[in-house]
Amino acid sequence: MADITAAMVKDLREKSGAGMMDCKKALGETSGDMDAAMDWLRTKGLAAAQKKSSRTAAEGLVGVATSGTIGAAVEVNSETDFVAKNDQFQSFVREVTHIALATGADAEALKAQAMASGTTVAEVLTNNIATIGENQSLRRARQLSVSQGAVVSYVHNAAAPGLGKIGVLVALESAAGDEVLQGLGKQLAMHIAAAFPKALNEADLDEAEIERERAIATEKALAEGMKPEFAAKRVEGSIAKYRKEHALVSQLFVMDGKTKIADVVAKAGKDAGAPIVLADYVRFQLGEGIEKEVGDFAAEVAAASGVPQKPKDDQPAS
């Protein structure tokens, strides 16, 4: 059996990010072969990742990056907010965001892309799960681009530059100067972060969602005793209001509460002497749509300590 030195263990630990005892065992299992030990750790890391994969990951970070006429947004989830403060996790999200910026790949395609280390995004993510100790997932990614103009980014609740809980991209098609587009784009992005539009235009709204709203409004009107013909008119009025409130271009600008976004963009173009088109946007909010598990922290602590917990008033003792 090869003599495993402290220097070898230290070297493997620095390369892999794994724990000291795991590195020592890996070297012992592979007779001191560093590459084989790395593979051994990755194999064990994969097993660890599979065990953690059933745990809900609704925290993490949203990353945004731009380069002139191109921008990208990525969401990477973890189980707890603590991981979002981890340098290893932040570096991973930042690099993946820039890969999305360069390639335009969606989340699934991104997993096969190579990182600076030479390994794929999926492989690095698996190793991160093993070394950080939490389930993590690359949930979504999107790239925006314009032929002329700018894509502007904004991060709300930033944990680090370009990383936070809400990431927004705004694509502006125009021949106007970059200073004008950056200023307008930043204001629009802040509006989008706050107002949460569901689509760019009214025609782009999800018709299934519109029908749900129509059914709710109809049931409410009939329950109030309105005649069907009058109820139908009120329902259509409610739907028209819903469309205006949830389509970005018809929303009222949060900065003044009275000007439609379409008019804000039109005025900016007129002042700049060049038309500006709000071509598209992206709004990623961390954990949006993920059903989070609600745990009983006291019960978890009691279970871990082996101390039996007293039943609550409305629950019989077992």
Sign, CA torsion 254/165/286/186: positive
Domain covering 59-204+247-285, topology: Tetrahydropterin Synthase; Chain A (3.30.479)
- pLDDT at position 300 is 45
| Residues contacting residue 65 through CB under 8 Å, at least 6 positions apart | 71, 72, 94, 97, 98, 100, 101, 153, 162
Distance CA(155)–CA(64), nearest Å, equals 8
- pLDDT at position 142 is 97
What contacts 24+ positions apart, CB below 8 Å, involve 252-255? 253/191, 254/190, 254/191, 254/194, 254/195, 255/187, 255/191
Per-residue pLDDT of the chain (318 residues; tens, 9 = 90+): 578 888 888 777 766 666 677 788 888 888 888 888 877 776 665 334 444 444 445 689 999 999 999 999 999 998 888 888 889 999 999 999 999 999 999 999 999 999 999 999 999 998 888 888 788 899 999 999 999 999 999 999 899 999 999 999 999 999 999 999 999 999 999 999 999 999 999 999 999 888 888 888 888 888 888 888 788 888 889 889 999 999 999 999 999 999 999 999 999 999 999 999 999 999 999 988 765 554 444 454 445 444 455 544 444 443
Q: Where are the domains of the chain?
A: 6-52, 59-204+247-285, 207-242
Distance CA(184)–CA(268), nearest Å, equals 7
Tokens of 162: 């370009």
- pLDDT at position 289 is 74
Distance CA(12)–CA(49), nearest Å, equals 20
The CATH class given to the 6-52 domain equals: mainly alpha
Spatial CA neighbour of 109 closest among 80, 143, 133, 69: 143
The CATH class given to the 207-242 domain equals: mainly alpha
